[in-house]
Amino acid sequence: MDNAAPGEVTRLLMELQGRNQEAAPKLFDLLYSQLRHMAQRHLQHERADHTLQATALVHEAYLRLAGGDQNWRNRAHFFAIASSAMRRILVDHARAKRAAKRPGMREDLNLDAVPNLQREPYDDIILIDIALQRLSGIDERKGRIVEMRYFGGLSAEESAEALGVSVITVQRDWSLAKAWLHRELAGEGPATSAASPG
């Protein structure tokens, strides 16, 4: 993510936590382009004709974030939570659409080294969500790293800052998590060993 005005972002986040609602529109203006870039990254893993557009995803995620009781430590932490909110919105959207899906529509899914999977159109994000929940149940940090790096586009440095760990730890966990997801989504049986702390 772009590092524009990190001090100003952190100051506005603190003001928003302190219930200064005047900080919300300022923060939104300051972060809009970065949030939109994050939303586009999330949507690039979706169908080309997805009914939810980047702008709508940004607005819905921001409303959830600004209206909730969050304890943001810093800018990187905010972006990590924003990425998680966007993914939840897309999963909820997919689940709602699943009931109305038309048979016969198929698409490919690619998660770095994960092989293409032929699935119904709204099932892929649901399958990833289920896999991420399993991974998080085994190792929560690895699940969060996948969410931040793959879906949110955060760098290893930003992910490390958000989680309060070293960059080397993020890089190691990212590599292990990708291997775990590769096996899990390919249906190659239990993949718990790659996600165990190491």
Of 3 and 61, the structure prediction assigns the larger pLDDT to 61
Side chain identity at 24, as an amino acid letter?
A: A
pLDDT band at 56 (very low <50, low <70, confident <90, very high): confident
Widest Cα–Cα separation across the chain = 51
| Least confident window among 26-35, 96-105, 144-153 | 96-105
- Contacting residues for 31 by C-beta, under 8 A, at least 6 apart: 9, 78
pLDDT digits (tens, 9 = 90+) for 120-158: 444 577 788 888 889 999 999 999 898 888 877 888 998
Q: How far apart are CA 2 and CA 31, in angstroms?
A: 10
The listed range with the strongest mean pLDDT (8-12, 66-70, 118-122) is 8-12
- Contacting residues for 83 by C-beta, under 8 A, at least 6 apart: 38, 42, 147, 148, 151, 152, 153, 154
pLDDT band at 53 (very low <50, low <70, confident <90, very high): confident
What's the whole-number average pLDDT of the chain? 76
- Other CB atoms within 10 A of residue 161 CB: 21
- Phi (first) and psi of residue 105, to 5 degrees: -85, 135
Mean pLDDT of 180-197: 64
Mean pLDDT of 14-20: 74
- Contacting residues for 32 by C-beta, under 8 A, at least 6 apart: 58
C-alpha closest to that of 109 among 77, 139, 131, 88: 131
- Phi (first) and psi of residue 17, to 5 degrees: -65, -30
Note the pLDDT of residue 110. 44
pLDDT band at 91 (very low <50, low <70, confident <90, very high): confident
Residue bearing tokens 């506005």: 12
Please determine, for residue 77, whether its predicted confidence score (pLDDT) is greater than 80. yes
